[in-house]
Chains A and B, each alone.
Chain A
């Protein structure tokens, strides 16, 4: 129950950070997806039902405040949560490097899909910029995920 509350609050806090501060956290003009990190970490710590509820909430928030096609994050975030939970039942994802790799792969697929949706919905994104966002963005998300995990861990040991 405490974990559920901590992750619910974390989503609200990181969503606010995502709206207000990610412009200052840009690396190679790419912003980190803090919500994707939170839902990935939440999926490793919460029950399936709670992870899905929180990821729908996070996706909805990102869709409301984002510029991409509405619904894409609301659809993809619970999907990642579901797949992480299913994978965690089959193999142990306790190793930090394994967790980092998993978040990188999820971020890579998520960024590619949202980028493609953006392109197909009429946005013009040059190939160089597309690749930069997909690869640098995914790597950035993976690299800062241990830090986010540490912050949550310090609040909820």
Chain B
């Protein structure tokens, strides 16, 4: 009985997630491909997920991966039936971000942790805690206005010349199960 209840609960939660994904896919201006996460990076040196769709479904290297909550990462490798996505929490992925309220620009990078860092903010940058950070569109790879996360802390760089902001990603990167890849 308990086993049955647990299975039903799992199906219910999956249904809710897929419903959100489908409604986002229908409203989105982009052409998207939905995929399931089938693996994660084994070690702590990188932040990567493996999805069950590859070049056969039209996914190519460099494409952007999102969820209905926000930006997730970028496709770095594809086979016929799988693709590897480098998550935004990886330090090797840097995205040009902008504060939605003040349009202050900065470079968002991963820390291999739960939070991201927005660097190269001038001393007088107009940025506050709880500000929303979105992609700036300066890098052609990332469409403009994709939600990255919210500012949770602002500090001064060690040199004292600029500031940096700590960002909590909109997507909980440790429990992604379904993703959307922007193909057009």
| A29 and B44 in contact, given A23-B174, A65-B39, A67-B84 (Cβ under 8 angstroms) | yes
User: Which chain A residue shows the least CB distance to B176?
Assistant: A23
Does B40 reach chain A (CB closer than 8 Å)? yes
- Interface pair B41/A67, CB less than 8 Å apart: yes
Cross-chain contact of B91 among A18, A26, A33, A124 (Cβ < 8 A): A124
User: For the complex, what is the distance from the CA of A78 to the CA of B41, rounded to whole Å?
Assistant: 22
B6-14, B108-116, B137-145, B159-167: which lies at the interface: B108-116
Q: Main secondary structure on chain B at its contact with chain A?
A: loop
Asked if B39 and A66 sit within 8 Å, CB to CB, the answer is no
Contact residues in B for A35 (Cβ distance below 8 Å)? 42
Q: How large is the interface on A (under 10, 10 to 19, 20 to 34, 35 or more residues)?
A: 20 to 34
Encoded as 1 (CB less than 8 Å from any A CB) or 0, chain B from 32 to 46 comes to 000000011111111
Looking across the interface, which residue of chain A has its beta carbon closest to that of B39? A19
Q: Which among A23, A35, A62, A68 has the highest number of chain B CB atoms within 10 Å?
A: A23
Complex-state Cα separation, A62 to B40, whole angstroms: 12
- Indicate whether B102 reaches chain A with its CB closer than 8 angstroms: no
Scan residues 73-87 of chain B and give those whose CB is less than 8 A from a CB of chain A. Answer: 84
Q: Is B55 located at the chain interface by the 8 A CB criterion? A: no
A123 at the interface (CB under 8 A from B): yes
**Could you say which of B43, B91, B114 contacts A31, with CB atoms under 8 Å apart?**
B43
Contact partner of B45 (CB less than 8 A), chosen from A24, A65, A133, is A133
Most buried by A among B39, B42, B50, B114: B42
Contact partner of B43 (CB less than 8 A), chosen from A20, A24, A29, A67, is A67
B44 near A68: Cβ-Cβ < 8 Å: no
Looking at chain A's contact residues, the main secondary structure is helix
Measured CB to CB, the closest approach of chain B to A120, in angstroms, equals 12
**Chain B residue with Cβ nearest A123:** B92
B51-89 CB contacts (< 8 Å) to partner A: 84
Q: Once bound together, how far apart are the Cα atoms of A55 and B45, in whole Å?
A: 21
B111 and A129 contact, CB distance less than 8 A: yes
Give A20 to B38 CA distance when docked, in angstroms.
8
Inter-chain contact B39/A118, CB cutoff 8 Å: no
With a cutoff of 8 Å between Cβ atoms, the chain B residues found around residue A133 in the complex are 44-45, 112
Instruction: Give Cα distance in the complex from A19 to B41, angstroms.
Output: 7
Q: Which of A18, A24, A68 contacts B46 (CB 8 A)?
A: A68
Residues in B lying within 8 Å of A, measured CB to CB: 39-46, 48, 50, 84, 91-92, 111-114, 174-175
> Could you list which residues of chain A lie within 8 angstroms of chain B, going by C-beta atoms?
18-20, 22-24, 26, 29-31, 33, 35, 62, 65-68, 114-115, 118, 123-126, 129, 133, 137
Known contacts A29-B111, A129-B113; 19 additional CB pairs below 8 A are A23-B175, A29-B112, A31-B43, A31-B44, A35-B42, A62-B42, A66-B42, A66-B43, A67-B45, A67-B46, A67-B48, A68-B45, A68-B46, A115-B45, A118-B45, A118-B46, A125-B45, A125-B112, A133-B44
Q: List 18 A-B contacts (CB under 8 A).
A: A18-B42, A20-B40, A23-B40, A23-B174, A23-B175, A30-B44, A35-B42, A65-B39, A65-B50, A67-B42, A67-B46, A67-B84, A114-B45, A118-B45, A118-B46, A123-B46, A123-B91, A124-B91
